[in-house]
Structure 1
């Protein structure tokens, strides 16, 4: 039977699950989510693996083996994460094949502590790509200024990349440029570009959290009535950039378009509809990676009202101009969000390493 996630797919938005753990795999839960909830991909990040590996007993047997081998904490974390990603890739392989490689994807992220080191980032991207050794894997690389060259290099070498931690349209334009350069270099080097897929993960709810806080501090009626609009309009402006700067470019023959992916789509403010960042960001050639609670909200409530991305640019620009008119400093908002985004993943990673060190000791 068709459900609202299937309806979302007809609008052009693929739904991926923003979570992965050994418990999901071993219990059959991930297979259930694929079959019953129409999920066609999975994303992970350091915080997700930190939560997964720090709870329960699912990893105990493997950790005991790694301890006996004298494995260091960071190597142990990646060994466990790679095994999970490989298992998930195998589950999603039929979807990957049916979709021509666009969906059925499973992402694994490079160490967030090296986000400003392009050489270290591309080196680890190569290692992870080879270690996972699945055609439907994606390597997540943050869209920091330091990592942009690594994104180009990874794509040029034929590695499928999930570019993550994008907050501003300005940064997204740089990601588009990096994608185009990487694909063109790959084609020039004789790489089969039809095998390379990429998504650009544009974060949504965190924008509202930061901007709403500033609007409340400003406190004027004009400012307060704009709460809850920044996240969606910022993403709609990113989609306009996608249409204007990527869809209009001539890529090498056989190349796949890098799709915008809406990330951080779980609603942080309980006053906003659970499906806000789904229903307002539905449209062609996009992905929405959601926590399962948001997936369940879509399945139960729907609240979809067609393609809300195509033709949204003018209204989004007007809203963003109003935000700046009441005192929102866009450049500062996005600088804070990128810095805090990296810091949150670094903190989660360090906590995971400390926990793993204790278990291996």
Structure 2
């Protein structure tokens, strides 16, 4: 099979293409393998919403849930078993990409219970538990970038466990995430872990920023405000990449760790499905191209890029782009957008959304267990 030229060009430009979805159907039909073979996919991300959709549609999980019910498994154990089985199997499908990339790609992410987003100690405990259950070197444990999540990130990295930090909305929080990663690497080094085997990505959410800020701009309603719609998400991500460069390309703290084999924490562009039909459906892919980045896409976005995405090389770096990104934020503040309030709200809503999906998943699986018994 041959790779789609648009996605191959994206990969050649330094962007790792990851799929933001996983289900047993994808695994059983070998759809995931097909995307690896034809769409340059070298990683998979999951979240509570994805698992909720997978486990509550179709019949792919019925036999396993019935078996677990017969063994007396409760709802939490059932969810843990079926989700970690899927993730482990996906890790095996991506094992070749993992080896070929030296461990950077071929990764599959699984998230800690979103109800633990504000509990550092329990997040660490579950991260270690999930790492042991899946038992694959190409796993990433997803930990949210909440204030309680930051010390958890450090603690989990210090254990030699690779981490996908999720729900990052602001450059300020991204900087705190990078600090947490570096602190974890320093502790891992002191504990004797091989830093070459520890990897991390920082998942920076894009489209949700535009959705929230656009709504506020429309409420303001002036010509100046309306002219700024659809600019915030890309500008925010470009500023985040500049912060990444400061830490990992020129920063002395990481330099000392790199000397003993440490890996950079790559920016990962998440929430890249375009919500506004007035915007190009490849906006958060073609405008966020730079070396050492990851773009995790829902399949609809992946196919849009395959069909008509125009990849023109690096669209992030350079003084002019950074200046324009800074001017976008200055302009937003000048028309009355409270950016700190926006980012705080998006984090709260992000955690709440995943908690709701998890609660719906629990209710659905409990119903399946009851029916099976």
TM-score (norm 1): 0.99
Provide the secondary structure at the position in 2 that maps to 1:44.
coil
Q: Does 1:290 align with 2:292?
A: no
Correspondence for 2:350: 341
Q: Does 1:266 align with 2:273?
A: yes
Q: Does 1:281 align with 2:283?
A: no
1:114 aligned to which of 113, 116, 130: 116
Q: Does 1:17 align with 2:15?
A: no
Which contiguous aligned blocks of 4+ residues in structure 1 show a shift greater than 3 angstroms?
none
Provide the secondary structure at the position in 2 that maps to 1:40.
strand
Q: Does 1:303 align with 2:305?
A: no
Structure 1: unaligned runs, 5 residues or longer: none
Post-superposition shift, 1:277? Answer: 0.2
Give the stretch that moved more between structures: 311-320 or 143-152: 311-320
Correspondence for 2:97: 95
After TM superposition, list the pairs within 5 Å mapping 1:200-279 onto structure 2. 200-249=202-251, 250-252=255-257, 253-279=260-286
Provide the secondary structure at the position in 1 that maps to 2:143.
strand
Distance in structure 1 (CA, Å) of the matches to 2:121 and 2:27 = 33
CA deviations over 1:235-273 (Å, ceiling 9, x no partner) = 001001001123223142111100000000000000000
CA deviations over 1:127-168 (Å, ceiling 9, x no partner) = 000000000000000000011111000101100000000001
Post-superposition shift, 1:291? Answer: 0.3
Aligned Cα root-mean-square deviation (Å): 0.8
Question: How many equivalent pairs are there?
Answer: 361
Correspondence for 1:154: 156
Provide the secondary structure at the position in 2 that maps to 1:287.
strand
Distance in structure 2 (CA, Å) of the matches to 1:247 and 1:348 = 38
Distance in structure 2 (CA, Å) of the matches to 1:294 and 1:220 = 32
